């Protein structure tokens, strides 16, 4: 029985997270992420607002911009950022991090010359290794986490970012409107573009698993800012002049 959207449905797991998920459907899902995220997540706004200005600052210091994408999945955000930075003449070191070996294998096999560094690991392992980045990003990861896992990822994110750097975790915001719009929009292409993938069903599950902006504000640690935007988007953001290292 499907839970109402008044509370997070943390007990329902997305189909692609099943270790025994159909490999062909999983690969097709990774391959369609770029199209779906371009429409839903608007990565271009992230690039213009946050990534490009920090790349310019890094160039003034004669170094490459260091970006970490947590839970990178098929790597579409990493590739987009790497290509745009290269197009605009910036040097960058982009790392795609995911705990699922299937995602890392698919993404690395479809790098398409982007030059991404692919790593199968947890954020805690990067902290232990002393890794430091200018930007720590994620897209559609928060809804996969329970509250304890969220606190770990947020604490690790702050430890991984350099002084003056920033963290931006972006996700869908749970609402009836988001669920209805995604359901309607994907229904029309469910038998064509999204056929033989998990995107439609998992997308609806992910909305039910997602936080609202009010819920995130209630549990976000001090120093974090929660922003909501249309359509049904949220961002958990941290910018610090003195990040912990």
HEC readout, 44-88: HHHHHHHHHHHHHHHHHCCCCEEEEEECCCCCHHHHHHHHHHHHC
The two beta strands, 233-239 and 161-172, are antiparallel
Average pLDDT across the chain, whole number: 93
Q: Assess whether pLDDT exceeds 50 at residue 242.
A: no
Q: The whole model's pTM is what?
A: 0.94
Note the pLDDT of residue 68: 98
- Say what percent of the chain tops pLDDT 70: 97
> In angstroms, rounded to a whole number, what is the distance separating the alpha carbons of residues 200 and 204?
6
| Lookup: tokens for 240 | 């610090």
Q: Assess whether pLDDT exceeds 80 at residue 218.
A: yes
Q: Assess whether pLDDT exceeds 50 at residue 244.
A: no
Q: Assess whether pLDDT exceeds 90 at residue 243.
A: no
pLDDT (tens digit per residue) in 220-230: 999 999 999 88
Phi and psi of 89, rounded to 5°? 85, 25
Confidence of residue 241 (pLDDT cuts 50, 70, 90): low
What mean pLDDT comes out for the span 82-106? 97
Note the pLDDT of residue 245: 33
What mean pLDDT comes out for the span 108-117? 96
Note the pLDDT of residue 73: 95
SS3 145: coil
- Tokens 């260091």 correspond to 66
Helix 199-209 to helix 23-40 angle, to the nearest 10 degrees?
Answer: 60
What mean pLDDT comes out for the span 132-155? 95
- Tokens 């941290």 correspond to 238
The two beta strands, 92-98 and 65-70, are parallel
Sheet holding 161-172, edge to edge: 117-120, 92-98, 65-70, 133-139, 161-172, 233-239, 225-229
DSSP, res 116: P
């Amino acid at each position: 029985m499907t839970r109402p959207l008044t509370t997070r449905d943390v007990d329902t797991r997305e189909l692609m997270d099943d270790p025994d998920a159909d490999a062909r459907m999983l690969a097709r899902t990774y391959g369609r992420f770029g199209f779906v995220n371009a429409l839903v997540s608007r990565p271009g706004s992230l690039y213009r607002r946050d990534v490009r200005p920090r790349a310019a600052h890094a160039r003034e210091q004669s170094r490459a911009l260091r970006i970490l994408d947590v839970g990178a999945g098929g790597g579409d955000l990493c590739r987009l950022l790497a290509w745009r930075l290269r197009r605009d003449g910036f040097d960058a070191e982009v790392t795609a991090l995911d705990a699922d070996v299937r995602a890392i294998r698919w993404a690395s096999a479809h790098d398409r010359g982007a030059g991404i560094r692919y790593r199968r690991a947890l954020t805690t392992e990067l902290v232990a290794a002393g890794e430091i980045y200018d930007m720590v990003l994620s897209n559609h990861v928060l809804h996969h986490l329970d509250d304890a896992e969220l606190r770990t990822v947020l604490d690790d994110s702050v430890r991984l970012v350099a002084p003056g750097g920033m963290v931006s975790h972006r996700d869908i915001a749970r609402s009836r409107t988001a669920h209805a719009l995604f359901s309607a929009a994907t229904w029309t292409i469910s038998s064509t573009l999204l056929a033989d993938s998990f995107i439609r069903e998992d997308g609806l599950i992910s909305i039910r698993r997602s936080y609202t902006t009010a819920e995130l504000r209630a549990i976000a640690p001090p120093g974090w800012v929660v922003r909501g935007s249309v359509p049904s988007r949220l961002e958990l953001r941290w910018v610090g002049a003195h990040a912990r290292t």
